[in-house]
Structure 1
Amino acid sequence: MKPTIALDADGVLLDYHHAYAGAWERAFGHRPALRDAKAYWPMDRWDVQRVSGDALEQLRACFDESFWRTIPALPGALAACQRLVDAGFRLVCVSAVDAKFAAAREQNLAALGFPLDGLVATGNVVVGVSPKAAALVKLGPVAFVDDYLPYHLGVPGSIHRALILREPNGSPNAGPELAAVDSLHPDLAGFVDSWLQRVSPSFPSCGASHVRAR
């Protein structure tokens, strides 16, 4: 059995920011302008107002199966995954998507060409520990890559916990909880550079990453 690496979807493989702007356009008829390119959350990234009542329901209706089937890949993510596969790893996506959208998410990733060996949908409720923790214990990967710090909480230390930092403004990826992760990276390609050097020191680096290993 090949060693497994578990990968999050949104923010690691897929561009949820881009998809959110598209959902807003579907709901209200115009694509929002960019407000802060370094914002972590899409509502801060795009020039949108907080909505409630009927407008909120109108927006939520656009996060349907079509939405989850059509999120674009992040730049460099597909190539990063292929490097891991070529190095002998099995890749599984562990996503906090609701179970009712799991098939759409899997179709999306397959259509984009990601070389994944399955999808595990966990839901997104955080109660003390990551909603992904139990699934990761069962899956037993050598590494888990996610861009949301709370999803690393409660993940066993036997699994290398890699955090993708991405956009810093308003990011939850800060504070003492960072002790729950083993390495920090700007994106998936940065993780792959670091990981392949870690498991095979002779493997050539294809780019820089910021890593804090322990």
Structure 2
Amino acid sequence: MTNSPKGKTIALDADGVLLDYSTAYAHAWAKAFGTLPALRDPDAYWPIDRWAVERLSGERLATFRAAFDEAFWSTIPAIEGAVEACHRLVDAGYRLVCISALDDAFAAARQRNLEMLGFPIADVIVTDGETGDVSPKALAVAKLRPLVFADDYLPYHRGLPAAVHKALILRAPGGSPNVGNELADTDSQHVDLCAFASWWLRRPQAR
């Protein structure tokens, strides 16, 4: 979607940075059980805390998981202002790539979702989602060698190449995992992608 050189690549997470997974979660609940859950805590980081839903097991859990199908991963709404933020970055000469922790089976659905929303994303890379001492996204970031990696989940910044600017998108604070000593390992922190784009493009180096 852009002819920007590889050396000006910015890597972006999808859920929580580009896409509003939390809202989509509520609609998956409605698809599975017939009722849209009420909002419990608008500042909650995790969807299960944001919405008035119960923790599931057994058949009800299987029913809910079945709602996370091709249609679900193709229709997650954009976070407010995220599409515009991406276009601002592309207009400034950056190439955008999405690195998302997602099952390979839904990679095409993720790309289709982003395209339908108007995101100027050049490529979508999917990785494992299991966290440990090193981010499951670290290998993809190392191969891509972007200028920036932006993600809303602090453990996904572990073990990234030192040359990559690690931008943490903080978003909702309630019960957030984005706390503690590891915050010092990030290079910048922002409330959302809009804030990151504005900050990045204002830097003296950007001019």
On whether the aligned pair clears a TM of 0.5, the verdict is yes
TM category (shorter chain) comes to: over 0.9
Matched ranges for 1:15-26 at <5 A: 15-26=20-31
- Change in CA separation of 1:201 and 1:86 when aligned onto 2, cut-off 3 Å: closer
- Alignment partner of 1:43 out of 23, 48, 51: 48
The match for 1:119 is 124
Task: Provide the C-alpha distance between the structure 2 equivalents of 1:31 and 1:56, rounded to a whole number of angstroms.
Answer: 16
The match for 1:206 is none
- Confirm or deny that 1:181 pairs with 2:182: no
Matched ranges for 1:112-191 at <5 A: 112-191=117-196
Cα deviation, 1:25-74, whole Å, max 9, x if unaligned, reads: 00000000000000000000000001100000000000011100000000
Cα deviation, 1:188-213, whole Å, max 9, x if unaligned, reads: 010011111125465xxxxxxxxxxx
The match for 2:115 is 110
Instruction: Give the TM-score of the pair, scaled to structure 1.
Output: 0.92
- Change in CA separation of 1:201 and 1:141 when aligned onto 2, cut-off 3 Å: closer
Q: 1:14 is aligned with what amino acid?
A: L
Distance apart, 1:128 and its partner CA: 1.5
Cα deviation, 1:128-174, whole Å, max 9, x if unaligned, reads: 21000000000000001000000000111100000000100100000
Task: Provide the C-alpha distance between the structure 1 equivalents of 2:205 and 2:154, rounded to a whole number of angstroms.
Answer: 27
Distance apart, 1:127 and its partner CA: 2.6
The match for 2:61 is 56
- Change in CA separation of 1:199 and 1:14 when aligned onto 2, cut-off 3 Å: farther
Unaligned runs of 5+ in 1: 203-214
Task: Provide the C-alpha distance between the structure 1 equivalents of 2:126 and 2:206, rounded to a whole number of angstroms.
Answer: 34
TM superposition outliers: structure 1 runs of 4+ over 6 Å: none
Task: Provide the C-alpha distance between the structure 2 equivalents of 1:153 and 1:118, rounded to a whole number of angstroms.
Answer: 23
**% identical aligned pairs:** 60
Cα contact 2:41–2:51 (8 A) shared by 1 = yes
Cα deviation, 1:63-111, whole Å, max 9, x if unaligned, reads: 0111000000000000000000000000000001111111111110011
The match for 1:208 is none
- Change in CA separation of 1:107 and 1:201 when aligned onto 2, cut-off 3 Å: closer
What secondary structure, in the 3-state scheme, does the structure 2 residue paired with 1:101 have? helix
Distance apart, 1:5 and its partner CA: 0.1
The match for 1:91 is 96
**Greater RCO, 1 or 2 (C-alpha within 8 Å, sep 6+):** 2
Q: 2:143 is aligned with what amino acid?
A: K
Taking only aligned residues, the RMSD between alpha carbons, in angstroms, comes to 1.0
Unaligned runs of 5+ in 2: none
